[in-house]
Amino acid sequence: MTRHRLDPAPGTTNDVCSRDHAPVLTVEAGDEVVVGSLDASGHLERQRTPGEVRPRLFPQARGHALTGPVAVRGARPGQMLGVTFVDLRPGEWGWTVAGGRETPVTTRLGLADVPPAWLLWEIDADAGVATESRGLTVPTAPFLGVTGVAPAEPGEHSTTPPRTTAGGNVDCRELVAGSTLWLPVQVDDALLYLGDGHAAQGDGEVGGTAIECPMTTEVRIDLVDRRPLPSVHAETPAGRITFGFDADLDVATGDALDAMVTWLAALLDVDRATALAFASAVVDLRVTQVANQTWGVHALLPTGALGL
């Protein structure tokens, strides 16, 4: 096992995903990488007043400022890439913005055409607290909003919508330290992107942003031939998680539940109807995020439920 360091810079950061990107680092399965990432917007300096324009790495950013891609030597389509979050440490500052752009939520609330509202946060990573400029505080629970591999399709792909085949902008608040996110490898060497640090977020990321911040993330990268599911799924301190992403919330919900029933049936060695009955007793369905051009839903089988 080799330990690597990868810092955000013009040569190591991208704002779209593509199978044609040259890797900025190549690792072996089992290696660990300490990855630095800018905030989602690629700010090079903190805002001093809400909404202040500050220098960015990509002045005309097309998407999230992501560190990578990282090539995993020998990874091939059909395999599964495991990204284990060993440690996540947010930077000293963060921001949240809501309103001022059209989404299903802002349109419903009448906030699509109003000036955006900004929150500025001071983050104390050691104390585990973020303090907003008004003095209000929230506990931190840091995670990366975006962890994904290059899609198989040619061309450049937006970082905004999550994908069940490649991950990406999953925005699941349960992916804290101690979690492993499993991603289906789509292209040779996988090409892994990481970024969009969140110091804290509620289920749904209802305003479209969390406490967006720079992040230092330590990950271990594993590669396996088989997993219980062929789609994106996770093992977290809270429990096992499956995902659904679709422009239709019903479809996203159904996909997340379908995957969980499949996983639960294998774990318990029962038929799918029996697995659904057990799921009805213990599985939580949660809206992961609502503002990324597609709905996200995750199904959570809590740790210890049914003795698992």
In angstroms, rounded to a whole number, what is the distance separating the alpha carbons of residues 275 and 287? 21
Quickly tell me which residue has 């963060």 as its tokens: 94
Q: Give the pLDDT of residue 71.
A: 98
String of DSSP letters for 160-207: SS-BTTTEES---TT--TT-EEEEE--STT--EEEEEEES---TB-TT
In angstroms, rounded to a whole number, what is the distance separating the alpha carbons of residues 225 and 227? 7
Q: Give the pLDDT of residue 293.
A: 81
Q: Give the pLDDT of residue 219.
A: 98
- The architecture (CATH level 2) of 3-224 comes to Sandwich (2.60)
Q: Check: pTM over 0.85? Answer yes or no.
A: yes
For helices 272-282 and 249-268, the axis angle rounded to 10 degrees is 110
Work out whether the CA dihedral 50, 47, 173, 230 comes out positive or negative: positive
Q: Give the pLDDT of residue 131.
A: 98
Q: Give the pLDDT of residue 128.
A: 98
By the 10 Å C-beta count (0-12 exposed, 13-18 middle, 19+ buried), 132 is classed as middle
By the 10 Å C-beta count (0-12 exposed, 13-18 middle, 19+ buried), 196 is classed as buried
Domains of the chain, residue spans? 3-224, 233-307
Three-state DSSP class for residue 3? strand
**Radius of gyration over alpha carbons of the chain, in Å?**
19
Fold assignment, 233-307: Endonuclease I-creI (3.10.28)
Of 217, 221, 146, 226, nearest to 180 by C-alpha is 221
Phi, psi (rounded to 5 degrees) for 306: 60, 20
Q: Give the pLDDT of residue 292.
A: 84
CB 142 within 8 A of CB 197: yes
In angstroms, rounded to a whole number, what is the distance separating the alpha carbons of residues 74 and 258? 31
**Strand bridging mode 295-302 / 32-37:** unpaired
By the 10 Å C-beta count (0-12 exposed, 13-18 middle, 19+ buried), 126 is classed as exposed
Please tell me if the domain spanning 3-224 has the same topology as the one spanning 233-307: no
Q: Give the pLDDT of residue 167.
A: 97
pLDDT in tens, the chain (308 residues): 899 999 999 999 999 999 999 999 999 999 999 999 999 999 999 999 988 999 999 998 899 999 999 999 999 999 999 999 999 999 999 999 999 988 889 999 999 999 999 999 999 999 999 999 999 999 999 999 999 999 999 999 999 999 999 999 999 999 999 999 999 999 999 999 999 999 999 999 999 999 999 999 999 999 999 999 999 999 999 999 999 999 999 999 999 999 999 999 999 999 999 999 999 999 999 999 998 889 999 999 999 999 99
